[in-house]
Amino acid sequence: MHAFDVLGDPVRRRILELLADGERSSGEVTAVVREEFGISQPAVSQHLKVLRDSGFAVVRAEGTRRLYAVDAAPLREIDAWLDRFRRFWTPHLDALATEIARGRRARRNDDSGSEP
């Protein structure tokens, strides 16, 4: 399965967001996803399996628990692919940062010049 096919699913993206905050048990992931998406435990397990099989997540056993974590390698591959497109948005983001900084400077100057 192609990386964008994996990440194209909102449930799998949410699972990765949860795992990005640190290792989580399958029970923790299932509880959050079931609450937010209203899907069954077997459906969540299937999404976890897709993430594992595609290399986005790794699992380790700790007693009877299964702990999941993000595997960054596929994310680095996506980042490398996106690199050729960054030129389309980086200048715009840089210009936005400049305008934000100007606005902050102007507000500071206005605030320092006003009388209490």
From CA 22, how far away is CA 8, in angstroms rounded?
Answer: 22
Tell me, what's the pLDDT at 114?
A: 58
Q: 6-9: list long-range contacts, CB under 8 Å, 24+ apart.
A: 6/50, 6/51, 6/54, 6/56, 6/74, 7/56, 7/78, 9/47, 9/50
Tell me, what's the pLDDT at 71?
A: 95
Q: pLDDT per residue over 62-113, tens digit each? A: 999 999 999 999 988 888 888 888 888 888 888 999 999 999 999 988 887 6
Tell me, what's the pLDDT at 115?
A: 56
23, containing H or E segment: none
Amino acid at residue number 7: L
Q: pLDDT per residue over 14-43, tens digit each? A: 999 999 999 999 999 999 999 999 999 999
Tell me, what's the pLDDT at 92?
A: 86
Note the CATH architecture for domain 3-70. Answer: Orthogonal Bundle (1.10)
